[in-house]
């Protein structure tokens, strides 16, 4: 009983502190994710040096990561409506596609050269950071209007479900389960994709039929929440890709005709918000990296390489932008909760070299958040707001 009360107390402290910080973040123009992580790091230091009250098991943190990952992918997929795609959406989709290709190729190569780890580890690290974070981008930009700001918002919304998939694909490709021939990994890989899509589509159709014929103000939103979590776990149990299954479920939910779609997402949003805060603070309690000049030099070089690769992808996909706009978009390419969820989940898989990746991940993410925060604070100076609407700029 004492252990249960202690865990409940720790969760309450985390949620209370996280809620207060989320109210503070917009006023000081700092990403709330950065405050959450620093809050978790402060809890860890206080527990180690002053009073040892924090001792949540890692399996609890990993489970929270799975919850957030499933919910983030579902929400990101459900926000994509094929009916509303226009020229600006096409431009953002082109940016997402080219940025993904450039990132997986060039940033993987840069990571491999800089950290001098085996290529599979470098590819995995690069894949974790392949997309931008919607919650962070939307929070940093606030209500500012303009073509570039709209592109950044669209990019962050479009790439969340797709880019959550790549780290797990990298694991399937490079960290196989010891098969002895070249055909078996391909068969396993394709089977995982088909099972994932199949489970997601089947769950989406069942959910649609259920909601369409039987709607309840309380239980229909709850059914959506349960469906996203059950789809992920069922696909993984059957040997498929859970992220792909939830992505298929979300795309169906976002594009089939459902009258009360917004109302049904409200319950999930409240629950998602709670575990979102919980995961980020808990990640801060795990944060640890060597305080050496060599390590920080590697992180700085990696950050520069990341910005350069992102700039090249923006220049290739959006050549009509000005130089100032391209540089600004390159600086506003931070990652967030989806990457953290993936990293926490990967830490449980026993992958070779995952400890080094975890250390590098924490320092690199903090660097990204710092750069994006500075760029956001200077938005009015380096990117003055324009009256030009998304649809009036040539994409």
Domain count, the chain: 1
Cα–Cα nearest to 364, from 297, 302, 307, 305: 302
pLDDT tens profile 173-232 = 777 644 444 455 566 667 777 888 888 888 888 887 877 777 677 677 778 888 888 998
Q: What is the per-residue burial (b if ≥16 Cβ within 10 Å, else e) of 198-216? A: bbbbbbbeebeeebeeeee
SS3 86: coil
Identify the pLDDT of residue 265.
62
Quickly count: other Cβ atoms within 10 Å of residue 197's Cβ. 17
| pLDDT tops 70 at residue 15 | yes
Q: Output the domain CATH number for residue 368.
A: 1.20.1530.20
pLDDT tens profile 316-356 = 988 988 888 888 888 888 877 778 888 888 887 778 778 88
Q: Which two tokens stand for residue 230?
A: 């059950």
Cβ–Cβ < 8 Å for 337, 135: yes
Cβ–Cβ < 8 Å for 68, 343: no
Cα torsion through 268, 169, 332, 96, rounded to 10? -90
pTM: 0.78
- Note down the domain range covering 156: 2-392
CA–CA dist 126, 61 (Å, integer): 23
Out of 40-54, 165-179, 233-247, 356-370, least confident range: 165-179
Cα–Cα nearest to 76, from 268, 210, 234, 315: 268
């Amino acid at each position: 009983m004492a252990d249960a009360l202690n865990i409940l107390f720790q969760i309450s402290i985390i949620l209370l502190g996280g809620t207060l910080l989320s109210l503070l973040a917009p006023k000081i123009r700092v990403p709330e994710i950065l405050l959450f992580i620093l809050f978790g790091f402060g809890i860890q230091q206080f527990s180690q040096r002053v009073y040892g009250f924090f001792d949540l098991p890692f399996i609890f943190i990993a489970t929270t990561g799975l919850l957030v990952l499933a919910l983030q992918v579902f929400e990101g997929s459900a926000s994509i409506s094929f009916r509303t795609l226009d020229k600006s959406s096409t431009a953002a989709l082109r940016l997402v596609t080219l940025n993904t290709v450039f990132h997986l190729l060039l940033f993987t190569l840069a990571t491999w050269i800089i950290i001098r780890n085996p290529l599979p580890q470098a590819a995995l690290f690069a894949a974790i950071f392949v997309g931008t974070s919607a919650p962070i981008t939307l929070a940093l930009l606030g209500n500012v209007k303009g073509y570039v700001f709209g592109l950044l918002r669209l990019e962050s919304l479009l790439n969340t479900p797709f880019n959550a998939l790549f780290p797990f694909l990298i694991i399937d490709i490079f960290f196989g389960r010891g098969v002895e021939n070249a055909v078996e990994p391909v068969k396993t890989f394709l089977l995982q994709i088909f099972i994932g899509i199949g489970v997601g589509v089947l769950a989406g159709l069942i959910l649609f039929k259920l909601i369409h014929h039987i709607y309840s103000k309380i239980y229909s939103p709850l059914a959506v929440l349960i469906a996203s979590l059950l789809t992920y776990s069922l696909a993984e149990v059957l040997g498929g890709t859970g992220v792909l299954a939830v992505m298929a479920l979300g795309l169906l939910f976002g594009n089939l005709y459902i009258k009360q779609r917004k109302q049904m997402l409200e319950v999930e949003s409240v629950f998602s918000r709670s575990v979102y805060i919980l995961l980020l603070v808990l990640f801060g309690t795990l944060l640890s990296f060597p305080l050496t000049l060599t390590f920080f030099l590697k992180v700085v070089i990696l950050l520069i390489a990341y910005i350069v690769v992102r700039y090249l992808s923006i220049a290739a996909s959006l050549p009509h932008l000005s130089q100032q706009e391209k540089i600004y978009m390159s600086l506003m390419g931070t990652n967030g909760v989806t990457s953290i969820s993936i990293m926490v989940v990967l830490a449980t898989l026993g992958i070779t070299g995952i400890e080094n990746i975890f250390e590098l991940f924490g320092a690199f993410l903090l660097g990204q958040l710092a750069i994006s925060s500075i760029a956001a604070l200077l938005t009015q100076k380096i990117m003055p707001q324009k009256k030009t609407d998304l649809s009036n700029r040539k994409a």
